[in-house]
Amino acid sequence: MIIYPDIEIQDGHSVSLPRGRKEEATVFEISPLEAAEQFQIAGAEWLQVVDIDGVFQGGRFNSGIICEIIDNAKIPVQVAGGIRTEQQVDWWFEHGATRIVLGTAAIKDAQLLRHVCHQYPDRIVVSIDVRGGYVLIDGWQTRTSFHPITLGKNFRDIGVAAVVYTDIDRFENHSESSLAGTSEMGTEIDLPIISSGTVRTLDDISLLSLLPNIHGVITGRALFSGAVDLKEAIAIAREPGVDRSLAKEGVRPQPASSISAGRTLPTDYTTMGQELLDLHRAHTEGAISNEVMHHMDWMPTFMAAVGNDSIKQDLLEGGVQAIGREYNVHLDGYNFLPFWPRISAEDYSHGVTSDLVVRALILVVFGGLLVVFFLRSVRVGLRCKETDQVLSVVVSLSVGIGYWLFLATVFSAEPRYAVFPAFCVLYCLLTSVGIYREPGRKERGKWPKVLFVPLMVIVGFASHWTPSEIRSDGPTWSAGLYVAAEGCRVPGAMTATVPIIPIYANWTVELNCEELLSAVGGFQS
């Protein structure tokens, strides 16, 4: 496995972008040229240089510095960032780049990718950035309907040299988040996989070395910050890896040694790649896992559940106070909270917010006033022998509440299910106000004051109701057709699957390949 030191350049400076946000860039004191020189001295076999300004805007913005790095480098240099046209690809190869990384362009323009792969064999790398099981483009700004496995298989047939896979969920969250996506890419795709954005410690290097078909690891921030020593990382990466077939067949491989920890892994472990893949499948298919979990893993898991997902690092640095003691230990455990998506640190540590308290007070206060108002209107109606109106109030209110409770119990308390109950409540309010307004009633003079109460209740309900917009989560129809059309290019393909909303339900539609290719002729070769 090869370590690719990653030099990200923005406005001529060495930077790192937390969560991919350029406005939150961390600027390092060392220049890109100095960093490249130090990485080579430490024994780097490759360098990756990224034009961050190009990522977000397209084009070349830091080409001068990057070309200087290429000219001074004694090792191959892989260039990424904003390369979206054939002319730009040609320009970089003419100026000494060993390999080019295409991201947005490779996904949007299949013809471009085919052409440059043919023109520059084994020199085109494709970047696949994934969040929530779907590929992102335009600097993580645009969500597509592409699945990474489908894209990876298409890229294999096109002639791509390797795939840079970035698990954004793992990148944005704690480093101990699931590596199942990375493992699945290595198992299912017959292309060299380069993992990106997954390294914070040397332990992460060790974990990645156990995954199938991981040929390289891109790391930048950990090297610049000093969290990872490049020499040690390279030494760990050179340990024997795990073959892709082992993960498929469940074969127990020979263990790799962890230099950073000074220990050797036990010989009786099941392939970690397979374990992670099984966990991923169980998670996505709603199955229940009865796998054994080490007791040292429960500590970081429980701490993450209550809001502290850094307890492992805190203990290592020392100074943690508990039960009248101060602890400074290395906890050899991992946070397994990400394996259960319905349970998160946010649910526990940030569940009680000021907004939630306000909404609860609105519900209690105005809900109580609503009950008093309805009971009084029923009493007035019965006294005045308006049984029809009283019956309509009781029935509509009962139907609305029963409808909501049933759907919330059987399915979920989604806002869309509250539309019909809200209309039932509104009907009851209008009917009750009508009871008070009937002439000849002793209470008729009070109805303007009473009307104030239901109006405030409506405000309370409206402030608590947030409509769901699943359409904004994609996928777009045009993007789905792109993937489907590419799938129809496989010999013997008769139909293609297009994902549709809601994506969390995995809804799809089957299209005839002949009709599809005829409709989108631009995809035909």
Distance CA 376, CA 366 (A): 15
Query: Is the CB of residue 183 less than 8 Å from the CB of residue 276?
Result: yes
Q: Which of 6, 51, 53, 129 is catalytic?
A: 129
Task: Tell me which DSSP letter residue 64 carries.
Answer: H
The dihedral built from the CA positions of residue 90, 94, 98 and 104, taken in this order, carries a sign that is negative
Distance CA 83, CA 513 (A): 31
The residues, ordered by sequence, that sit 6+ positions from 494 with a Cβ below 8 Å of its Cβ are 512, 513
Choosing from 6, 8, 51, 204, the catalytic residue is 8
Residues 6+ positions from 132 with CB-CB distance below 8 Å: 169
Instruction: Yes or no: say if 236 and 205 are a contact pair by the CB < 8 Å rule.
Output: yes
Q: In 10 A of CB 294, how many CB atoms?
A: 11
Residue 90 is a catalytic residue: no
Give the span between the Cα atoms of 20 and 127, in whole angstroms: 14
Residue 484 corresponds to which amino acid? A
Burial of 27 (0-12, 13-18, 19+ CB in 10 A): exposed
| CB distance 425 to 371 below 8 Å | no
Is 129 known to be catalytic?
yes
Structure tokens at 137: 């483009």
Of 302, 294, 284, which is closest to residue 339 (Cα–Cα)?
A: 284
327 burial via Cβ count (<10 Å: 0-12, 13-18, 19+) = middle
List beta partners, residue 212: 242
| Residue 256, amino acid | A
CA distances to 16, 245, 431, 437 from 386, rounded to whole Å, are: 72, 78, 11, 12
Residues with active-site annotation: 8, 129
